Every structure is written in structure tokens, then in C-alpha cells.
Chain A
């Protein structure tokens, strides 16, 4: 079986900083893969390289066997990969509905305005935004904006969704709700690659975890395996002996 997404040897350098070095990973259909790592590890940059916001210096990105390396983000969306932003990017004076329609009519199916509106309403309903449809997107609460990010991306009807910290800034109730939403999205047949700092959430959600540190892949595996990896603990805690001790205690 060919993987849905295949990333091979991806590299990107900003001046003297090797932001991403030799990143290789693959995602199967309906899989949830967590991408974790300390601040500045290059997680968001990895997303930028995968969905075409930036062109990588080396390496390849394949979606369903098609080489999409360096393709513009709008071309990538058409092929079925959508993403959300860590820092929410609402089209602020446009209504919530219009934001969703943009996502739907420029998404994978290239829908007409009228069909896009149907999809937008349905997806907004799924994310509990129905009551806010007429409001300018800029007036939503932070939780609302996060949900809108997700709604717009879903409106594109992607087969792969890149989620960049959709749980950050939410209160515990909202987090629980969002986790339910993410599971449901996967159950509807969408594969997910997600960046998250909330360890409990991502360990619970992910089928597999990829750990990045200083642009390099540190570990990969099931959540339990990754959590027990001394190198991972060291990357987070910055202390090898403490990491070893913790590991020994487990």
C-alpha cells in the first residue's frame, strides 16, 4: 500500500540555521500522526515545507504518489491537503460563513459558490459555529477562531489535514470538545498530521508520534514507545542524567 503522504529527506536552511534536516516520514490513510518537539524544533517549518508555503532546499513531498514538492499552497489544497495555522488567520471582516465558503469553493472539489455554501453550513454546524455564521470572523473568541481555522480547512474536503496547535489557548472543556471533533474527523476518513504541545492530548489521540528536535527527527513510534525514549525525555528536560533516572524509575 502506498502511503497517503510521503516525505523524504526534507531539508531547509535559513541563513545559518538548519531549520529542518533530513526529515522523513509517511502517513497512511486515516492515520493520526503527532508531531512533537521543544519550541523551535522546526515543527511549523515542517508544515510550511509540506504544504508549499515555503520551498524546501532538498527532499521530496509526495501526496498519493504525486510529487508536490515546492507546489504553491493553493495547488496543494486542490490535491487534498489542507492546514490550519498556529496563529489564527481569520479573514477578519468577512463573516464566519464567508470564511468557510472560501475554504469550500477553493478546496479539493473546486465547488461553485452555491454548493460551497451548503458545504460551509454543514461543516460549520459540525464545529458548532452555526450561531456565529453571520458574525465577522474577527469578533470570535480565541476558541471560536481556532474552530473556524479547523472548519475552513475541513471545508476543502481534504484527505489529509495538517493541524498546527489547534488545542493551544483553549480551556479544558474546549480541549475535550476539540479532541472529540478531531477523532470524529478521522472517523470520517481524513488522515491527520498534528503539532501539539498538550502531551496528554496528543499521546491519547495519535496512532504514531514523530519527535523533532533542532530540525532533526529524534524518535518515531507509538506514543508509549516515544514517551519512554531517553533521548526524547532529554530533549524536553535538557538533562541526560535526569532523563536516565526517570527512565529507570519507569
Chain B
């Protein structure tokens, strides 16, 4: 533990998280806050997705299902059972993790493209279920009344609280990724990612590790979804289980460098900036998705290690400092 405090990575994570807290506070900059909130969401999704793609080598194409289910669970608990936000978000995270664990036992026997396809199936299946699930409003979704913000001290204050919570979840995502990567668990996962059969023969408990990481990678995205959809005060199947967001998370991971700790976060912030610039362009709607697709192709083709992978190859010392 004391040794860990001497690692620069830990301080970097704390510094970035603090910067997210302080930057919009200066001058009460609400526009900047909204931008950073989205960036934090992308960092959370990408960092947790990296646990699967980058560490364990399993491409979870339907990762948005955790985000959406977390959102639904939380909004429903707040709306129908008057739960406080934080408790609802935490329970959402726990439940979604449990659901992921059960799904994982089923689909983690598949490998490669079959696994990726199965995760899309999970997302579409859950979406179809929710769209027909009356307690969650079916395809019309759930609206939260403005009353929901009362416990947070009204909307103006509540939005700040939600933002800080989101930044906290982002910080925790990075810490978890760091902790896992440098633990025995992370080593086992990377062995699985490289060669699952060899890992198994070397003694890595592959089944347990895969189910655990699939479940763990669901927790914080579900909490983030809870906060996000509480903030929107509205959730419907098409928004909650939007495969485009899954794809964007994958682009962020690949752009920054799969398997590295800081890469997915860097990729996420970069992609979010690009996206917000393109979103305001008049010529195209959803032009960012075209760019995202093109980017993904180029990265996979020419820089499979992503930005950080490339940097670490050129300056190997950086890897020891940052990872």
C-alpha cells in the first residue's frame, strides 16, 4: 500500500479527477461542466470496457447494456419507490453486476467474434424485454418529475451534485483499472487475453476470472448510467440501449490504446471533444459516427496499439511511469 503511494500513476489519477472537479467550479461554468460530464461518461465506459477488451481480450460489443440497465433500475427506484439517488445508483450497480455475472456464465464460453455477437444479442434482447416491460413504461419509457431533484436541493444544486458523483465514478473506474492491472488478477486476465488455452494450462482459473471481470466491468458503467439518466429525467429503450454508444466506447478504447491504463481515458476525452465539435456541424447529423467508424478502421489497420501503445513503443520508460 505504502509502495503504491509512490507510484506516479496513482497521483495522476487523483490529479485528473481533481481537475475535473475544480475546472468548472471556477467561475461556475455550467457549459464546461456539461462538456466534462459527457467526457467523464465516455472515460467511465471506455475504462471499464478496457477491462474486457484490453485485459481479458474479449470484445464486448454490447457494453452499453450495463449503462442502460443501470439507468433503468435507478430511475425506476427513484420514480416508483422514492429511493434516494445514491442508494438507487448503488443498488443499480450491484444488480447489473449480478445480471452480468449470470449472462457471463452463459456467453463467456464463446470466443472471438461469437462472443462479440452474443454481447450484441444480450443488448438487443434486454432492449426488447424492457420495451415490453410494463412496470418500466414499455417503449414509452419513464419520466422523472422535477420533484426527484428536491432531495438534492433543487435542480441547480442537484446538477452539480450529479456532476461530482459522476467524476467520482470516473476516478474510481481509473483506480479499479489500475488496481486490477497491477494485481495477480490482472496478470491472469492478460494471460487469458493472450492465449486462453495456455493460460488455463498454466493454472489461471479462466472461467472464474472471465465471469468476474465481465461482472466487475458492469458495475461502474451501471452506476454512471444511473446518474446519467437521473440527470436526463427521462429514459426509454432506444436511448438506454443505443449500440452507437457501445461502438463509440470501443473507438475510445482503441484510439487511446487497448490494454493500457491511461489510453482508454485519453481516447475517451479526445473522442468526446471530436464528437462535440462534429455534433454542432450543420451539414450532417450524427457525422461523428462516420468519423468514429473511419477512425476505428484506421487504428486497427495501422496503429493497433492505439495512441498510448505507440507512445510506449517509442518511449518504453513511459510505460513504467504511467502503467
Contact = CB atoms under 8 A, between A and B. Distances in A.
B187 A107 contact: no
Interface residues on B, range: 10 to 19
Interface stretch (B39-47, B105-113, B194-202, B282-290): B194-202
Contacts of A72: 200, 205, 207
Given A91-B195, A92-B194, A73 B187 contact: no
B157 interface: no
B210 interface: no
Contacts of A92: 194-195
Contact of B190 (A91, A116, A152): A91
A202 B203 CA distance: 28
B177 interface: no
A14 B190 CA distance: 32
B204 interface: yes
Nearest to A100: B202
Contacts of B202: 74, 77, 102-103, 106-107, 152-153, 156
B201 A51 contact: yes
A78 interface: yes
B206 A102 contact: no
B5 interface: no
B2 interface: no
Interface residues on A, range: 20 to 34
Given A89-B197, A113-B183, A113-B184, A78 B203 contact: yes
Given A78-B203, A156-B203, A106 B198 contact: no
A116 B188 CA distance: 13
Contacts of A152: 202
B195 A101 contact: no
A72 B210 CA distance: 15
A73 B204 CA distance: 9
Contact of A83 (B190, B201, B204, B207): B201
11 contacts: A74-B201, A77-B201, A78-B203, A83-B201, A85-B198, A94-B194, A102-B203, A102-B204, A106-B202, A106-B205, A113-B187
Interface of A: 51, 53, 72-75, 77-78, 82-83, 85, 89-94, 98, 101-103, 105-107, 112-113, 116, 152-153, 156
Given A72-B205, A102-B191, 8 more contacts: A72-B200, A74-B205, A89-B198, A89-B201, A94-B191, A94-B194, A102-B203, A103-B203
